[in-house]
Amino acid sequence: MDWMTTLFLMGAGAVGGVINAVAGGATLITFPAMLQVGLPPVIANASNAVVIMPGHLIAVLADPGRWPPFDRRLGWLTAASLLGGASGALLLLWLPEALFTGPVPVLIAFATILFAFAPTIQAHQAEFGPRPVDTMTGPAMIGVSSIYGGFFGAGLGVILTALLSISVSQDIRTVNTNPH
């Protein structure tokens, strides 16, 4: 890799990091940057997911006062997210690359629209507060979202924040420390 490519990717990573720190959505910068330099789409997608994971982990560890209670519900949500994420990742690896690259523009558009409307969704939820979700509906919603995230990570944070704010809390910092 030449130094211009390295600088370009470092710049995209820095911009993505700032965007994630402020509002989330770094993948909307970093994934296209990886494609621009010639990485195959599936490799760019998987690399992007691996690269941003430490930031998510650090964000959760930095605010232990807002962790959800370690109870049965958290266990179900965690199991659903792990199973969904693994299923989405396996789907990504098993499908021919053409079946991944075909819907990528639609997935990026979907993630961008969610990202753009996230403040509206969050404001709406803050106004009405959390809604009780039965024992299996919450994990099912998280599991389906995690399949999407395992397959294509862009916008997953916005999707999970919206789902968790509906059923868990109106406090966005608490929502962001829940399992996703």
Reported as a single tens digit per residue, the pLDDT across 99-152 is 888 888 888 788 777 777 777 776 776 676 666 555 667 788 889 999 999 998
Q: Where are the alpha helices (DSSP H) in the chain?
A: 3-22, 27-36, 41-61, 72-94, 97-101, 104-128, 137-151, 156-167, 172-177
Whole-number average pLDDT of the chain: 82
Domain locations in the chain as residue ranges: 3-177
| pLDDT tens per residue across span 1-14 | 799 999 999 999 99
Query: What does each C-alpha distance from 36 to 17, 29, 33 come to in angstroms?
Result: 18, 11, 5
CB-based contacts of 161: which residues, under 8 Å, 6+ apart? Answer: 24, 118, 122, 172, 175, 176, 180
The reported pTM is 0.76
Residue 44's pLDDT band (cuts 50, 70, 90): very high
Tokens of 34: 């990886």
Query: What does each C-alpha distance from 45 to 55, 64, 78, 100, 158 come to in angstroms?
Result: 16, 30, 23, 10, 17
| pLDDT tens per residue across span 79-96 | 999 999 999 999 999 999
State which amino acid sits at residue 163.
Answer: L
Task: Kindly tell me if the per-residue pLDDT of 180 is higher than 50.
Answer: no
Other beta carbons less than 10 A from residue 34's beta carbon: 21
Residue 166's pLDDT band (cuts 50, 70, 90): low
